[in-house]
Structure 1
């Protein structure tokens, strides 16, 4: 880090970043790969967001949370990837103190958003499968908006970079524990309900509605546990870099693919929209 000495005070002006590699050829290759991933992330999540907002048949709680997850993925990727791409093209990888604070705050904000939105989606699946007759009441528009407000309110409290380092760390740990608990309890009740179903078709349908969400949860929280929970001595710095890139760059790209490719309703609406556009031309 670079220091600025003013009298008896020393101020940090910028941090020197380690980077992923010092090999110039590999830096170019990584730049191209990550740029492609970033473009797919933006196009995939923007398409999901716009499709859900413009399609009345997708105005349901599950898609309401999915559209907000797409927004969080865009913000999460945008907070890290552009600066990473720039650093591939310059010799000295540095970041200013202010930029570092902004990046830390934005990643904390959108990272907490991912956690709470995945928890809200687990609760939505729990209500849909375990209490289908009360679904419209328990997951009304008012309830969905309240859950979203709580999500962003808690995020703001977890992304304050003007407090001692131990406080954000404790807040992040609390967010992980609370959201994992909500998801685990929801799926325990879902599993019990599915096992009590007599119809094989009903079981298959119930399982299929949860597959995409479970995949997204496993990928996201799996990397979160590796980065924030596992002891630092159990893996190398290079392994941490790889997992961090997967966590911040790749997962935001995978989420729209996971939910869109396995969701018949989204695929049907998308085909109809594309069909109308082709026919009108």
Structure 2
């Protein structure tokens, strides 16, 4: 039977994390552990930066904001997954689904913009060290955060409002563990041409420009580092970028993994797992990357723990 148009959609149905009843408690504990590690790890970063005066610099200002956004992004998806596993009910209300779509887009966009701002910060620190404090002043840092926030919110609201104009069929099963705008559009019975054009345009602009900014910043960094006569200075300059490079690789690597997996495989479960890797794993590992690779952060965390 052809799916009929449904004017009063009340809820959607998400994919089950596991179809094996015996594994539900294990999966629940795994997701809960990942969420707690994400929240506690990023909170430690925020508190350490706030209470240690040595970390009141643009680099750590951006890092603390990134940690806050990572907590928000994980909170947007994981608690709902935990609730569905516990209740053994995969439904999510129409309003809840649209809200989740909006927040995922906004926080993921903020992540991308903040990583770009952090790359610019590192390029100024290495390429123009004598003018660093003048260029990266508090006013500019605040403007970069507000601009990132504005761009991300506008992008998320635009996609969410465009979804509101769609009518949906009786087949309301989303093949992911959370609501995602592309999968939501695929369920629509009405014309989605404008929505798809908007997604491709927004992805190229809001995803491509920050990534190009990161690449350009690191080209400048590499050029400046290669010109340094001292091997010690080269190592010191490069070491300040290692953590950020690792975070960027993790964030964009998992994002490209979602795109590649959806293109190469017809398995919705594989795509769903990879999508969760994109919205959960980078946010969980970021605090470890910065804590293990950064001497100042290690010192601040030791002071905080010893209090």
* TM-score normalized with structure 1 length: 0.91
8 A contact 1:4–1:12 mirrored in 2: no
Q: What CA distance in whole angstroms lies between the structure 2 residues aligned with 1:222 and 1:101?
A: 26
8 A contact 1:16–1:93 mirrored in 2: yes
Q: What CA distance in whole angstroms lies between the structure 2 residues aligned with 1:57 and 1:4?
A: 62
Q: What CA distance in whole angstroms lies between the structure 2 residues aligned with 1:91 and 1:150?
A: 41
Q: What CA distance in whole angstroms lies between the structure 2 residues aligned with 1:69 and 1:24?
A: 37
8 A contact 1:227–1:243 mirrored in 2: yes
Residue pairs, 1:1-281, within 5 angstroms: 10-160=7-157, 161-164=160-163, 165-166=195-196, 167-228=198-259, 230=260, 232-235=262-265, 236-275=267-306, 277=307
More RCO (CA 8 Å, sep 6+) = 2
8 A contact 1:223–1:243 mirrored in 2: yes
Give the aligned length: 270
Deviates more, 1:83-92 or 1:56-65: 83-92
Q: SS at the partner of 1:79?
A: helix
* CA offsets 1:98-121 (integer angstroms, 9 cap, x no match): 000110001111000100000000
8 A contact 1:159–1:168 mirrored in 2: no
8 A contact 1:216–1:258 mirrored in 2: yes
* CA offsets 1:122-158 (integer angstroms, 9 cap, x no match): 0001000111111011100001001001000001111
* CA offsets 1:60-94 (integer angstroms, 9 cap, x no match): 00000000000100100000000011111233311
Unmatched tracts of structure 1, length 5 or more: none
Q: SS at the partner of 2:161?
A: coil
Q: What CA distance in whole angstroms lies between the structure 2 residues aligned with 1:111 and 1:257?
A: 20
Q: What CA distance in whole angstroms lies between the structure 2 residues aligned with 1:139 and 1:97?
A: 43
Q: What CA distance in whole angstroms lies between the structure 1 residues aligned with 2:52 and 2:283?
A: 23
Q: What CA distance in whole angstroms lies between the structure 1 residues aligned with 2:222 and 2:137?
A: 24
8 A contact 1:49–1:71 mirrored in 2: yes
Q: SS at the partner of 2:7?
A: strand
Question: Displacement, 1:266?
Answer: 1.1
CA-atom RMSD, angstroms?
A: 1.8
Question: Displacement, 1:239?
Answer: 2.1
8 A contact 1:4–1:11 mirrored in 2: no
Q: What CA distance in whole angstroms lies between the structure 2 residues aligned with 1:231 and 1:140?
A: 42
